[in-house]
Structure 1
């Protein structure tokens, strides 16, 4: 990887971390020689260490010095490349995929994220039987599709860090899947983020989510591996 590509890759990873901490109301990331550390401070998620370019030497150092259960590694590499380098106490999770997409206001007819009126929801094209609710608080914009009974059928949220929007916690309730709700949420997010000045979107997807995002124009930036220290 050339220096230019390395710099661009590191910038994308850092933007993701910066948006993620806003989305999760976590402390600001701390620079480390090998990447970024976020002191999350939650049970089972004490801290996360994000490594944009994991090497055997880096992983040896981290796994030798990190001793608190509930500490996470987020490694920008496929599991087959890094899992063999992790001691048994580190539980490797299902594969993840960092994805990016250009954002433009023309991505959808959705209204800007700050507009939560009924007219805006109608403009956004909520499917029949659902109401679109968009709210922003403390820099985090939540997009929800609600049933007539007020239940959340699908949701997602984003935070803008510079000119990058970090998309987070996108999910559709099991009994509302295969109705295009995830697509509505994602397109609403894209348009809202673009209206706030974001020009690039970044997210980390599961294998199942990756399939949806690809249909919406998102492309793979890097495979990722998450591992947690269990004992």
Structure 2
């Protein structure tokens, strides 16, 4: 898959980063992000994700100082920069993960109707309104969950998260339908901008729907030595 070109001359918008961090925390029902002078910290509290730091800008001395004083396993840092750039200043105890991409899109008024129209025959969608979170669940004719997704609402933004299509139901447009249904619900609530972070696999889907890459995001983590060795 062809990766997007680096956005070296592009300055990351801190408000977009804030929207993503806040929306992610809402979606995952974690503690609200703590604003730091260098970015944000989210205390996640999961066995394999203790906490995450999100840095809107790559400043070598900041990354070096931050990582040098962190030794807790399963602590993540996420920097809006290319992996090779960040990797150069990381201590050996940190592992760089697969690249991901922060993406944005303007939300259109007619997306809900489009989502309903492109939903394949034999599938039905249900929308759950949970205050700042909207969930969509798609079931097949047998009543089994085929795909799901959700978004969190923050300011004028809608932050998409956990868009999942089960393997036996892929390549049928369910992911696109969920995205459009969620977008329509967000627009109805006055939201104008979509924000998400995509894996390399999701990049093609979202690009085909008009989303653009705002910034590459490099994720690095401290993995316990015993678990790292077990995976080799």
The question of a shared fold, defined as TM-score above 0.5 by the shorter chain, is answered with: yes
Q: Indicate conservation of the 8 Å contact 2:153/2:186, yes or no.
A: yes
RMSD: 1.6
Structure 2 residue 130 is the aligned partner of structure 1 residue 126: no
SS of the residue aligned with 1:105?
coil
Q: Does 1:209 find its partner at 2:213?
A: no
Alpha-carbon offset, residue 61 of structure 1? 0.8
What is the CA–CA distance in structure 2 between the aligned matches of 1:181 and 1:152, rounded to whole Å? Answer: 11
**Deviation string for 1:146-199 (max 9, x for gaps)?**
112222211110011010000000111111111111111111111111111110
Equivalent position of 1:44 in the other structure = 48
Deviation string for 1:98-136 (max 9, x for gaps)? Answer: 00000121234169xxxxxxxxxxx55531111101112
1:190-209 equivalences under 5 Å are 190-209=183-202
Q: Are the equivalent residues in 1 in contact too, given 2:132–2:154 (CA < 8 A)?
A: no
What residue is the counterpart of 2:33 in the other structure?
29
The answer to which of 175-184 and 161-170 deviates more is: 175-184
Is 1:54 equivalent to 2:58 in the alignment? yes
The one of 76, 80, 86 aligned to 1:76:
80
How far did 1:93 drift?
A: 0.9
Aligned equivalents of 1:93 and 1:151: distance in 2?
Answer: 33
Residue in structure 2 matched with residue 19 of structure 1 by the alignment: 23
Match of 2:136 among 106, 123, 143: 143
Q: Does the Cα contact within 8 Å between 1:124 and 1:188 map onto a contact in 2?
A: no
Query: Residue by residue, what CA displacement relative to the aligned partner does 1:56-109 show, whole Å, maximum 9, x if unpaired?
Result: 101111111111101011111111111121122111111100000001212341
Structure 1 residue 39: deviation in Å? 0.7
Contact 1:134 1:143 in 2 (8 A): yes
What's the TM-score, normalizing by structure 1?
A: 0.88
1:158-197 maps to which residues of 2 (within 5 A)? Answer: 158-197=151-190
Task: Give the TM-score taking structure 2 as reference length.
Answer: 0.88
Once residues 107 and 68 of structure 1 are traced to their aligned partners in structure 2, the CA distance between those partners, rounded to angstroms, is 43
Task: Name the count of aligned residue pairs.
Answer: 215
Structure 1 residue runs of 5 or longer lacking an equivalent are 112-122
Query: Are residue 224 (structure 1) and residue 200 (structure 2) matched?
Result: no
**Equivalent residue runs for 1:106-117 within 5 Å:** 106-109=110-113
Query: Comparing 138-147 with 217-226, which one deviates more in the overlay?
Result: 138-147
Structure 1 outlier segments of 4+, above 4 Å: none
- Report the equivalent of 1:120: none
Cα shift at 1:224: 0.6
Take 1:75 and 1:150, find their aligned partners in 2: how far apart are those partners?
41
8 Å Cα contact 1:124-1:132 kept in structure 2: no
Distance 1:163 1:82 in 2: 31
